[in-house]
C-alpha cells in the first residue's frame, strides 16, 4: 500500500480523496488548524492532520500539493530537502525564479502536475526544434474570476459579453492570479519560459466552462489546442481535470 501526504483540504483535495486509486492511502494531511477536527472525524487513525509536513516522522511515498502557490513556497524546500517526492499543482509558484532554483536544486524529486491543461509533452518536444511564439488564453465565467485581481480590472457583475481583461507574460499572470493562472506557468515552463509566454485572460458570461487555448508555432509547425474543462462544483476557479491529474500521479505510484 502506498501512503501519501496531501497538502491542502479544499475543493481539489476533496476530489482527489473521492477518487483515490486502489492501493493508495492518505497517511497525512497538511491543513489549516480549522480543518483538523473534520479530518480527525473523517479519517480517525488512518490519516493524521498536520500543521507542517516536517511533523511527519515517516517517509511518504508522495507529497501531493493541492493547496496554493503560497504552500509551495512555504513547504516545498522542507519536503524536498528530506529527499521526499513532491508533486505540485500550484506551478505558478515557480514564477518566483529564486524559489524555482531552490526547489530544482533540492535533493528530492519535484514533479509538476499537468493540471487543467494538456499538450505539454508536445510543446516540450517542439521546443527542441525552437519555438517562435507561445500564446495561452484562459476563458472562464465571471464567477470563476470572483475574489481575484480581475475585480480590480473589470466589473464582473456588469459584463454582458466576453472580454479580455488581462494581457501580459505568464510570470505576471501567475503572480497576479495565483488561484487562476497556474496553467500559464505550466505552459511557460514546458515551452518558452515565464517572460516570453504571452497570456490573455478572459471573462465570458456565456460560459460555465474553464477553456484553455494554447497556440504555439516554431520549426515543428503549429499547435492549436483547446481544452474546455468543467469546473469543480465546489470551486469554479478550478477545473476537474486539474484534480484528475493529481489522481493520476497517485495511480502512477501503484504502477511502478
Ligand atoms: N495547475 C493547474 O492547472 C491548477 C492549479 N490549481 C491550484 O490548486 C490550488 C488548490 O485548488 P482548490 O482546492 O480548488 O482551492 P481551494 O481554495 O478550494 O482549497 C485550497 C485549500 O488549501 C489550503 N491551503 C492553502 N494554502 C495553504 C497552506 N499554506 N497550508 C495549508 N493549507 C493551505 C486552504 O486552506 C484550502 O483548504 C489552487 O489554489 C491553485 O494554486 C488550481 C487549478 C488548476
Ligand atoms: O483549473 C483551471 O481551469 C485553471 C486554474 O485555475 C489555474 O490555472 O490555476
State pLDDT tens for residues 185-222: 999 999 999 999 999 999 999 999 999 999 999 999 99
CB of 10 within 6 A of ligand 1: the answer is: yes
CB of 186 within 6 A of ligand 2: the answer is: no
Is 181 annotated among the ligand-binding residues?
no
Residue 167 is predicted with a pLDDT of 98
Q: What are phi and psi of 234, to 5 degrees?
A: -85, -10
> 131 alpha carbon to ligand 1 midpoint, in Å?
31
Contact 55, 27 (CB under 8 A): no
pTM of the model: 0.98
CB of 91 within 6 A of ligand 2: the answer is: no
Cell 533540492 belongs to residue:
106
What's the rounded Cα separation, in Å, for the pair 107 and 80?
Answer: 6
Grid coordinates representing 196 are 516570453
For the CA atoms of 28, 29, 32, 35, the dihedral, rounded to the nearest 10 degrees, stands at -100
Residue 194 is predicted with a pLDDT of 98
Residues recorded for the chain: 256
Mutate which of 117, 230, 239 to test ligand 2's pocket (most atoms within 8 Å of Cβ)?
A: 239
Catalytic residue among 81, 85, 105, 212: 212
Contact 188, 194 (CB under 8 A): yes
ipTM of the complex: 0.99
Amino acid at each position: 500500500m502506498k501512503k501519501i501526504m496531501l497538502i491542502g483540504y479544499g475543493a481539489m483535495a476533496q476530489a482527489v480523496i473521492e477518487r483515490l486509486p486502489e492501493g493508495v492511502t492518505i497517511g497525512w494531511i497538511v491543513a489549516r488548524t480549522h480543518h483538523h477536527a473534520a479530518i480527525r472525524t473523517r479519517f480517525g487513525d488512518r490519516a493524521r492532520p498536520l500543521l507542517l509536513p516536517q511533523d511527519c516522522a515517516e517517509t511518504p511515498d508522495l507529497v501531493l500539493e493541492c493547496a496554493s502557490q503560497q504552500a509551495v513556497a512555504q513547504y516545498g524546500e522542507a519536503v524536498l530537502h528530506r529527499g521526499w517526492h513532491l508533486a505540485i499543482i500550484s506551478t505558478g509558484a515557480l514564477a518566483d525564479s529564486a524559489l524555482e532554483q531552490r526547489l530544482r536544486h533540492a535533493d528530492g524529486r519535484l514533479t509538476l502536475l499537468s493540471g487543467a491543461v494538456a499538450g505539454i509533452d508536445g510543446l516540450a518536444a517542439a521546443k527542441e526544434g525552437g519555438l517562435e511564439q507561445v500564446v495561452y488564453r484562459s476563458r472562464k465565467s465571471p464567477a470563476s474570476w470572483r475574489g481575484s485581481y480581475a475585480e480590480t480590472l473589470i466589473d464582473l457583475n456588469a459584463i454582458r459579453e466576453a472580454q479580455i481583461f488581462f494581457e501580459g507574460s505568464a510570470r505576471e499572470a501567475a503572480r497576479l492570479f495565483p488561484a487562476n493562472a497556474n496553467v500559464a506557468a505550466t505552459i511557460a515552463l514546458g515551452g518558452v519560459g515565464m517572460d516570453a509566454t504571452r497570456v490573455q485572460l478572459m471573462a465570458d458570461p456565456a460560459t460555465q466552462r474553464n477553456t484553455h487555448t494554447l497556440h504555439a508555432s516554431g520549426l515543428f509547425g503549429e499547435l492549436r489546442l483547446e481544452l474546455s474543462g468543467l469546473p469543480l462544483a465546489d470551486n469554479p476557479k478550478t477545473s476537474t481535470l486539474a484534480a484528475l491529474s493529481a489522481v493520476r500521479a497517485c495511480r502512477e505510484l501503484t504502477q511502478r
